[in-house]
Amino acid sequence: MYYEKFKVDNILYEFWVNDNFEISFAVLRGTSKKGSFSKNFDSDEYDDLDISISPFKVFSKVTELTLKWVRNNMPYKFSFHSTTDRKNKVYEHIIMKVFKTATDLVKNYHVYSDGKTHSFYRKTNEEV
């Protein structure tokens, strides 16, 4: 449905929204001081966010792409599902940042968090 690549610290990431309006990101490939990585790498030591020297830059880019996609599409729902505890923290921070900075979106969506799944549902006209 939506797909974009971005690069942080010589690591190429992919960001996507699937047909169920689930938002995610992952490493495609790259090299950092923590090693070389490629798509679908399997590591007990690192996850998609942890391999970057600057995880905050990754977080910021994922937030930016999320806000851009939501503003352009105003979907009736969208969600994040964390595959790791670290990604869950990223998604929680994205939600907090949205509530602090994107007031145009906050007034149009309800947010529900259930463990590692964070879902947004567009409010009805009566609720706005």
User: Please, are residues 32 and 9 in contact by the beta-carbon 8 Å criterion?
Assistant: yes
- What is the model's pTM? 0.80
Helix (H) or strand (E) holding 23: strand 22-32
Q: What is the 3-state secondary structure (H, E, C) of 43-76?
A: CCCCCCCCCCCCHHHHHHHHHHHHHHHHHHHCCC
Distance between CA 33 and CA 44 in Å, rounded?
17
Residue 81 has pLDDT above 60, yes or no: yes
pLDDT at 96: 79
Looking at this protein, which amino acid is placed at residue 17? V
**pLDDT tens digits, 47-63:** 555 566 677 788 889 88
Distance between CA 118 and CA 114 in Å, rounded?
6
In the chain, where are the structural domains located?
A: 2-122
Q: How confident is the model over 70-96, as a mean pLDDT? A: 84
pLDDT at 48: 53
User: Which of the pair, 99 or 71, is modelled with greater confidence?
Assistant: 71
Distance between CA 13 and CA 30 in Å, rounded?
9
User: Please, are residues 94 and 80 in contact by the beta-carbon 8 Å criterion?
Assistant: yes
Distance between CA 105 and CA 65 in Å, rounded?
14
